[in-house]
């Protein structure tokens, strides 16, 4: 008698045992940590407050969506330029409370835009959103997001010094070991160990970086053991509204792409486990409302604007672990981390080369998920309209990211963020090229 293979993985409504839950949650927290902290450093927000806000916003998102959409809320890169236009800081500088407060008000307004979009989707249904955001748009945006982050992953993994034009041999060793360990673990390990492959890869890389003398342990127990995050409160500002609120329109396609990615991978696991279909893609309106609530909750405490994180989705896709409880536990860990200084210092002691060694894999998976969206939706890549939309999004998004400093495209005196611009241009182009297409398709069917 043949033994039936057991399908390993957790669906959104399934909960691992306590020991596994904590391990999986730690892995998810480690994955979100570098990018979330980097946004704080780039915008002048307080790091501990940003971590705290991401945890509270994630719990709010999971509560609004009743745990049916397993996503982690972290700081969004799309808002960086707009927020910096208010705070006016350079990397690593803390912005004055007054300016952070003004930016917070703009972020609250952007959250209201996301909520409004969610209400519209709920009222008019998926047909409307699929016309505005077909797979050609969402899939292309997902590809751009993943590949646009590739430069960050590879330069940080190499210890690249832009001023000197050099890389670090130790950084390369730590990054390569982390990358290979993560890939090998994710491909060959089974059961629980296969589900924490990214965490294990980072731990292996961390061990190598310690041996190479890349970790400074003296900073771990420096300062107070417990320190409360620095909270600020929103302050009305027309400038902040005009600078930050419109960015929400550009992040809607990003959030939609993430949701469609999640739908594909969750239902693939559900099918293998013999479970019914999880209608995650149909909850786009709820997802946008949860996203908007996340922005508002984060900004109330002094955190930057955010989005559901592609890194965490990649981690879920690789490890087949989509449990909403795991993400809730990761959010609680982040909140605790924001108060407990030694724990935050331990996480900070993991070299950038190690984290970004794993991110080479994770960011690539985000790009691959964009391809998966198009395959799943059976996008015709011989269709001239589809090719035009995909091509323009890819070139504006990637060309703008790598062709101009900070991924900001100079156009008629304005500085436009590459990914947001690619999203908006792609949506508009798709709608223009769709004019008259329905009649043409009907004639082809008749013939």
What's residue 442's pLDDT?
44
- Among residues 40, 42, 43, 50, the alpha carbon closest in space to that of 301 is found at 50
Name the region of 232 (left: φ>0; alpha: ψ -120 to 50; beta: rest).
beta
Which ranges of 44-133 would DSSP assign to H, the alpha helix? 47-64, 80-87, 97-124, 126-132
Two tokens, residue 402: 């790598």
Cβ atoms of 251 and 118 within 8 Å: the answer is no
Residue 52 lies in a domain: yes
How do the residues of the chain divide into helix, strand and coil, expressed in percent and rounded to 5?
70, 5, 25
Cβ atoms of 68 and 280 within 8 Å: the answer is yes
* C-alpha torsion angle, residues 331, 96, 149, 176 (rounded to 10): -80
What's residue 441's pLDDT?
47
Residue 2 lies in a domain: no
Cβ atoms of 257 and 371 within 8 Å: the answer is no
Tens digits of residue pLDDT in 416-429 = 778 778 888 998 99
Average pLDDT across each block of 10 residues of the chain; the chain has 447 residues. List them in order: 64 88 88 78 84 94 92 80 76 82 92 89 76 83 80 85 82 94 87 73 91 83 79 88 74 79 88 86 89 92 84 84 92 90 76 85 79 83 92 92 83 80 88 74 45
Element (H, E) at 310: helix 310-319
Mean pLDDT computed over every residue of the chain: 83
What's residue 3's pLDDT?
45
Residue 397 lies in a domain: yes
**Those residues with Cβ within 8 angstroms of residue 236's Cβ, 6 or more apart along the chain or in another chain:** 105
Residue 441 lies in a domain: no
Residue 10 lies in a domain: no
The answer to pTM > 0.75 is: no
What's residue 361's pLDDT?
86
Residue 418 lies in a domain: yes
- Among residues 56, 390, 73, the alpha carbon closest in space to that of 258 is found at 73
- Among residues 196, 160, 150, the alpha carbon closest in space to that of 352 is found at 160
Sign of CA dihedral 403, 405, 408, 411: negative
What's residue 91's pLDDT?
55
Sign of CA dihedral 325, 191, 7, 379: positive
101: domain range?
18-433
Sign of CA dihedral 133, 138, 144, 149: positive
Name the region of 390 (left: φ>0; alpha: ψ -120 to 50; beta: rest).
alpha
In whole angstroms, what is the distance from residue 370 CA to residue 262 CA?
11
Residue 354 lies in a domain: yes
Cβ atoms of 197 and 319 within 8 Å: the answer is yes
Total domains present in the chain: 1
Residue 446 lies in a domain: no
């Amino acid at each position: 008698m043949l033994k039936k293979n057991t399908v390993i993985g957790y669906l959104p409504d399934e909960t691992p045992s306590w020991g596994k839950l904590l391990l999986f949650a730690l892995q998810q927290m480690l994955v979100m940590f570098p990018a979330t902290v980097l946004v704080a450093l780039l915008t002048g927000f307080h790091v501990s407050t940003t971590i705290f806000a991401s945890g509270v916003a994630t719990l709010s998102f999971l509560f609004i969506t009743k745990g049916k959409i397993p996503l982690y809320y972290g700081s969004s890169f799309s808002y960086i330029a707009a927020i910096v236009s208010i705070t006016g800081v350079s990397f690593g500088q803390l912005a004055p409370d007054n300016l952070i407060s003004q930016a917070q008000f703009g972020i609250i307004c952007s959250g209201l835009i996301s909520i409004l979009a969610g209400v519209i989707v709920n009222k008019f249904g998926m047909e409307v959103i699929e016309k505005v955001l077909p797979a050609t748009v969402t899939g292309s945006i997902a590809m751009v997001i993943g590949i646009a982050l590739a430069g960050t992953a590879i330069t940080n993994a190499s210890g690249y010094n832009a001023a000197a034009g050099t890389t670090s041999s130790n950084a390369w060793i730590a990054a390569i070991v982390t990358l290979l360990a993560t890939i090998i673990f994710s491909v060959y390990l089974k059961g629980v160990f296969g589900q924490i492959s990214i965490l294990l890869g980072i731990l292996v890389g961390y061990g190598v970086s310690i041996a190479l003398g890349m970790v400074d342990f003296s900073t771990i127990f420096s300062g107070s053991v417990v320190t409360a995050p620095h909270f600020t409160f929103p302050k009305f500002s027309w400038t902040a509204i005009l600078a930050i609120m419109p960015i929400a329109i550009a992040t809607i396609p990003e959030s939609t792409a993430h949701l469609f990615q999640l739908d594909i991978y969750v239902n693939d696991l559900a099918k293998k486990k013999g479970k019914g279909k999880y209608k995650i893609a149909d909850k786009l309106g709820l997802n946008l409302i949860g996203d908007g609530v996340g922005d508002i909750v984060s900004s109330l405490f002094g955190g930057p604007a955010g989005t559901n994180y592609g890194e965490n989705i990649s981690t879920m896709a690789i490890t087949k672990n989509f449990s909403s409880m795991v993400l809730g536990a990761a959010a609680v860990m982040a909140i605790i981390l924001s108060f407990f200084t030694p724990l935050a210092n331990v996480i900070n002691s993991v070299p950038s080369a190690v984290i970004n060694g794993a991110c080479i894999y994770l960011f690539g998976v985000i790009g691959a998920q964009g391809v998966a969206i198009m395959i799943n939706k059976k996008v015709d890549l011989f269709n001239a309209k589809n090719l035009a939309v995909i091509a323009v999004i890819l070139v504006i998004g990637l060309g703008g990211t790598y062709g101009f400093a900070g991924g900001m495209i100079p156009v008629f005196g304005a500085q436009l963020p590459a990914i947001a611009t690619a999203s908006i241009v792609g949506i508009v182009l798709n709608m223009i090229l769709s004019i008259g297409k329905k009649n043409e398709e009907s004639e082809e069917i008749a013939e």
